Amino acid sequence: MKVLVVGNGGREHALVWKIYQSDKVDKIYVAPGNDGMTDLAERVDISASDINTLADWAYEHKIDLTVVGPEKPLVKGIVNEFEKRGLRIFGPNKLAARVEGSKVFAKNILEKHDIPTAEFEVFTEPENALEFLKEADYPLVIKAEGLAFGKGVVIATNQAKAEDAITRIMEDKVFGDAGSRIVIENFLEGEEISVMVFTDGENFIPLEFAQDHKAVFDGDEGPNTGGMGSYSPLPFVNEELQNRIHENILKPALDAFNQEGLNYKGLLYINMILTDMGPEVLDFNARFGDPETQVILPRMSTDIIDVFEKTIDQDLDNMQIEWDQRAAVCVILTSAGYPLTFDTGKEIKGLDDLNRYDNLLVFHAGTTKIGDKFYTAGGRVLGLTVLGDTIQDAISQAYGYIEEINFEDMHYRTDIGIPTRDFID
């Protein structure tokens, strides 16, 4: 079987790595991929967002299965383009991907179907939004409606900060049309967790729980990034809480998607918060989480090709996913200055020596290879995923391995694997 993976980050490297384990797979292509993946997959020079060219290329090359990493091609309708050409592709169709592409669409479904989520208002005019702020309680959460590279959510602790966010999003249009409408919602307090489920439109299978660390500095300080690390399983999610999440969130959300006629098939990733009142939905994502995928897939023992196939064939009720009981921790190494400004082109030293560790996986995100050396080429450079008997064991081994690798201006958090609430006094 020939498989195409769409995307170029650490999440896609983890997908390629997992797909490579399958006996059913003869050849993997990745578009556009990165230089760290080339021992597993052949790169194809087409952007992940160029959905028509990707679909034509896949048709010409008789690709048996395509798996999509990032949200942008999904929201643009890559699944519809592939299906038009009779090609098999894993991911939600264009309408279903709106659960991530439009925060207004998602919040309206949540409200209509009584699924726990923060109270909210939608604004299309900045004047009305600014007026609303005068009577509001703080903190407030302000969200650009559309895709904003993970930067479209602002937690405003006072009116001045909220005004600034609204001006930047709606008037300065820092996210372009993605900020034409905004959602303002109540701030919910609690532990944020990531819950991913495979769903074929009728049945669903939850994956193991994970948590990511979004802020750039230790103790959740500094601006949010695409993710500085992740870990799984979550010691504070017991069976009772899992059942509550299943009954109060997952089942109602997928029932709601059905009632709305979305025909959602693929991976749904719910960003959830555990409040004193119970779990509530913060956001839906129509794709695998990054860097959660880098800890979930190494723990999944089942052949992922079977899961993709059964999802597409609406046969997930005949599927069970087996898990490695070890814990996984992923620490992301970034270029200092990320997520703001940073330099690239720094030689990465020590990579080859890491191959000798059986319980370590190095997933490339922003790297480039020149000759036989790797150099930094982005903000998030590498993710080191370590499997250990316990979270603590995986953490200590991960930080031990990191000492063997370096590049100029390398930055990473030293507290990956510690639940967020432990940072609160």
Binding site for ligand GLY (CB under 6 A): 150, 212, 227, 285, 289-290, 292
Calpha distance 235→129 (Å, rounded): 40
Supply angle C-alpha 146, 379, 340, rounded to 5.
70
Nearer to ligand GLY, 292 or 303 (CB): 292
Nearer to ligand GLY, 29 or 231 (CB): 231
Nearer to ligand GLY, 138 or 149 (CB): 149
Please name the amino acid found at residue 238.
N
**What is the smallest separation between the CB atom of 103 and ligand GLY, expressed in angstroms?**
13
**What is the smallest separation between the CB atom of 288 and ligand GLY, expressed in angstroms?**
8
**What is the smallest separation between the CB atom of 146 and ligand GLY, expressed in angstroms?**
14
Calpha distance 301→324 (Å, rounded): 6
Asked if 326 and 387 count as a contact pair (C-beta separation under 8 A), the reply is: yes
Nearer to ligand GLY, 213 or 310 (CB): 213
Nearer to ligand GLY, 289 or 383 (CB): 289
Nearest residue to ligand GLY on Cβ basis: 289
**What is the smallest separation between the CB atom of 215 and ligand GLY, expressed in angstroms?**
12
- Alpha helices per DSSP H over 116-238: 126-134, 159-166
**What is the smallest separation between the CB atom of 322 and ligand GLY, expressed in angstroms?**
24
**What is the smallest separation between the CB atom of 226 and ligand GLY, expressed in angstroms?**
7
Written as one string, the DSSP assignment of 311-360 is: HHTT-GGG----B--SEEEEEEEEETTTTS-----PBPBSTGGGGG-TTE
Question: Residue 256: beta bridge partners?
Answer: none
Nearer to ligand GLY, 44 or 97 (CB): 97
**What is the smallest separation between the CB atom of 150 and ligand GLY, expressed in angstroms?**
6
Q: Which distant-in-sequence residues (6+ apart) come within 8 Å of 144 by Cβ? A: 103, 152, 153, 169, 175, 178, 179, 182
Nearer to ligand GLY, 200 or 292 (CB): 292
Helix (H/G/I), strand (E/B), else coil: 53: helix
Q: How far is CA 222 from the centre of its chain?
A: 20
Q: Is it true that the peptide bond before 298 is cis, omega within 30 degrees of 0? A: no
